[in-house]
Amino acid sequence: MADFKFAMRYMRLVVILLLAVTTRTAICQTVSYKAQNETLPTILHNICNKAGFQVSYNSDIFNNTKYTYTFENKDITTCLSTVLSPNYAYQIIGKQVIITEVTKEKATEQTPPRTKKQTNIQTKIITVYDTIPVHDTVTITQIKTITDTLFVTDTIPFVDTITMKRYETNHLHTTKNCLSDSTSIRLGMNSLNYYNKNDYANSLQDIHQRALGFLSQIDATYKHNNLLLSTGLSLHNCRLINSYKTSYFTDDPTLTYKDTIWYWEFKNVMTYYKYNNGDSVAIQVLDSTYTYTIRENPKKIEHTREKLSTLSWHYVSIPIGLGIHCNITNTISLEPTVALQTHFLIKAQGEIPTEDKESTYKVKDLLKPINYSAAISCNILYSIEKNYSVSIKPWYSITPSLFRGNEFSTKAFVSHWGLVWGFHYTIPYDLF
């Protein structure tokens, strides 16, 4: 029994010595590596892979700060000490490198930098303890390290690689000068408002109901050092729904009233002349009679009619915009823009009741053939490839004068708001 225990202790000691020799051999292996503007996780993975090690860490301890290092035939301990000091510490167990964050208390202490000699001493500590508890402790630590690796070392490097690649290749994010063509569709609401505050304007305001309009647009935008200049061509449709009542009167054929109308009737009896300061003045002598006449007065019947009319007008518009480009993340950017638009009326239909509500105006006779509006918007773009992006844009515009002044006495303005969905194609291009 004593021989068996001795043999087991001897075998364990041999395993520990073999592990220490393997670790020391790997640690002494030299690494040549050049990191150019890379994050710490990327640098650590590349160094450890070249030396044949696996690295474990909690991804929350690192940020997105980028570094540049150059190592020529340096052992792994020197590389790790250079990269991690003074905010991080590391421990090598077998073929595993464990990275931890140094607490604030330890970071403030004035400790000398690590040297190769100190690293060798730490490695020897593992090989000196040849007892069973020490071997068990090493085994448990290795198992716990592997378990943590499965949950801590997640896909963060993969995500960073994809987003950085998309950021570095998308022309809208990276190039100072580029030309972007976009096709968009816009849905929005229209509101017709009157400057006048009389009864007629108030009655018109009450009968108007908002309706959904649309716009299809082709734009060309030039970006120069994040300054945007844009123009394009669009087909703009505005719609409103009118619901109102009209009234008119007709004679009742079944009932007729007879009215007696009394009046004075005058007849000329004679005319004589009178001299006044050398002038002759004619004076008439009239005979008056108070008499009457009978007239038929049919009864009037009032008729009321509900009328529903859709106001619709179409513009061909040319916008000219000015904005700025702002990168928010690796794939998302904002483009706030102001624009002036010139509208050319091509089609209009619908009617507006007159003030007495007995007839109507045709809206095509009231609208100006050429009109202007001002708009503000903010384009939210998402890059999907180096040349392509998709966007959604909230917008608001106002047309200050809608009707002709000589045709319609009531002045009005139109406001529009809604959302635009667009698809963008961008290429590097320098106009200046």
In percent, the amount of the chain with pLDDT more than 90 equals: 16
Classify domain 2-154 by CATH number.
3.55.50.30
Q: Please give the angle made by the CA atoms of 349, 355 and 357, to the nearest 5 degrees.
A: 70
Residues 368-407: tens digit of each pLDDT: 899 999 999 999 999 888 788 899 999 999 999 888 876 5
User: Alpha-carbon distance 220 to 384, whole Å?
Assistant: 19
* pLDDT score for 8: 66
* pLDDT score for 6: 56
User: Alpha-carbon distance 113 to 153, whole Å?
Assistant: 28
**Average pLDDT over all residues of the chain:** 76
140: Cα separation from own chain's centroid: 53
* pLDDT score for 206: 79
User: Alpha-carbon distance 141 to 126, whole Å?
Assistant: 12
User: Alpha-carbon distance 236 to 214, whole Å?
Assistant: 6
The pTM for the full model equals 0.49
pLDDT band at 10 (very low <50, low <70, confident <90, very high): low
Across the range 197-206, mean pLDDT stands at: 80
* pLDDT score for 14: 57
User: Alpha-carbon distance 419 to 393, whole Å?
Assistant: 6
* pLDDT score for 155: 45
Residue 153 has pLDDT above 60, yes or no: no
* pLDDT score for 288: 85
* pLDDT score for 149: 42
CATH code 3.40.50.720 for 171-246+307-428: no
> Per-residue DSSP letters for 391-411?
EEEEEEEEES--B-TTT-SS-
Residue 335 has pLDDT above 60, yes or no: yes
* pLDDT score for 109: 47
Domain with CATH 2.40.160.20 in the chain: 171-246+307-428
pLDDT band at 16 (very low <50, low <70, confident <90, very high): low
Residues 79-127: tens digit of each pLDDT: 888 888 888 888 888 788 888 888 755 444 444 444 444 444 344 444 4
Spatial neighbors of 8 by CB under 8 A, at least 6 apart, are: none
* pLDDT score for 117: 41
> Per-residue DSSP letters for 174-220?
H-SEEEEEEEEEEEEEEEEEES--SHHHHHHHHHEEE-EEEEEEEEE
Residues 257-276: tens digit of each pLDDT: 777 888 888 888 888 877 77
Domain with CATH 3.55.50.30 in the chain: 2-154
pLDDT band at 342 (very low <50, low <70, confident <90, very high): very high
Residue 242 has pLDDT above 90, yes or no: no
